[in-house]
Amino acid sequence: MSSPHARVLILGSLPGAMSLAMRQYYAQPQNAFWRIMADIAGAGRDVPYEERLDRLRQARVALWDVCEAAERPGSLDSAIVLSSVTSNRFETFLMRQPEIRGICFNGNTAARLFERLAVPKLAPAQRALPRTVLPSTSPAHAGMPFEGKLRRWREVLLPLIR
């Protein structure tokens, strides 16, 4: 999901089973992503999905995954079969998104996959974009309370989109 005026690109690793089945980003109800986006962009679960995406676009947020395809039994990032991963084409995407000021990763796995698979293919100016790893919104990442995740996401995203 993107907009030609996006200022920040948020990257997950690979959609989970429920997201794939529903064809929606972060469809797992316990995932905190939409709770965080409710605070940042007014795009919470109480809003119909297509309208949530529109609100992210209005907030100048693009949303995508590092992996175009990969094998993964279940939905945990730790189960991704690294040898099976094909990354999305970020070099093309970033050329079409000239206003992107930063890339944020929803967790460490997305960041590691991006560094390994995408960065080597990027043009120098694309490689120079600031990159920030944010706390995973996954319910599997229970080591940080929601309030801490929200605080960190706000302090990184708000300056990028305003």
Please report where in the chains the tokens 């708000």 appear, as a residue: 158
CA gap 77, 71 in Å, rounded: 11
Listed residue (48, 32, 50, 31) closest to 40, CA to CA: 32
Active site residues: 31
Question: Tokens for 87?
Answer: 């990354």
100 close to 131: Cβ distance less than 8 angstroms: no
Alpha carbon separation from 113 to 16, 29, 121 (Å, rounded): 16, 25, 13
